[in-house]
Amino acid sequence: MNGRRIATAAPLALSVKQPWAELIMMGNKSIEVRSWTTDHRGPLFIHTGQKPAADFLEFFSDVDASFRGGFIGIVDLVDIEPFRQASWSRLRPEHLVPGPMPQGYFGWRLANPRRLMMPIRWSGALGLFQVPSLVADAPLQDAHHT
């Protein structure tokens, strides 16, 4: 063995409602709030759901959350931890969710957002789901584009 790991699993994606998906890709939201956890760590494609989180669109009216129903980029899922009351408040600038902490939720720490050169319309799914090769092989924007 030469010590290199060879990826054999298909890349995974997470469907995120707008404006949250766009805020993640802008680097303004580095913690995604979920009611469940996963053992997956590493690259994670971001898919935008068809329906927005309508209650939150007004809070982020300066964000272009118009693209829905497809892939917009990829991030690295680096950690997941359960929220505690203290961490919910302390991490609000990273998760951006107003209001009280939902019980039993987790903070998914995301890093290194990379936007696809062009969004790709595609149906999503609940939970983590496999990314089609058309998306996995799509070019990414240069790092200095946002």
Q: Domain for residue 5, yes or no? A: no
Q: Residue 55 corresponds to which tokens in the numbers above?
A: 């209650």
Q: Domain for residue 4, yes or no? A: no
25: Cβ contacts below 8 Å, ≥ 6 apart = 46, 72, 73, 75, 113, 115
Q: Domain for residue 141, yes or no? A: no
pLDDT at 96: 96
Model confidence band, residue 9 (pLDDT cutoffs 50, 70, 90) = confident
Q: Domain for residue 28, yes or no? A: yes
Model confidence band, residue 131 (pLDDT cutoffs 50, 70, 90) = very high
Facing residues of 42 across strands? 77
Model confidence band, residue 143 (pLDDT cutoffs 50, 70, 90) = low
Range of the domain at 76: 16-136
**Does residue 85 have a pLDDT over 80?**
yes
pLDDT at 102: 94
Cα gap 96→122, rounded to integer Å:
27
Cα gap 136→142, rounded to integer Å:
16
Q: What is the mean pLDDT of residues 51-77?
A: 94
Q: Domain for residue 142, yes or no? A: no
Q: Domain for residue 130, yes or no? A: yes
Q: Domain for residue 89, yes or no? A: yes
Q: Domain for residue 8, yes or no? A: no
* Number of domains observed in the structure of the chain: 1
CATH of the domain at 131: 2.30.130.30
pLDDT at 3: 39
pLDDT tens-digit profile of 10-43?
899 999 999 999 999 999 999 999 999 999 999 9
Overall pTM > 0.85: yes
Number of H helices, E strands in the chain: 5, 6
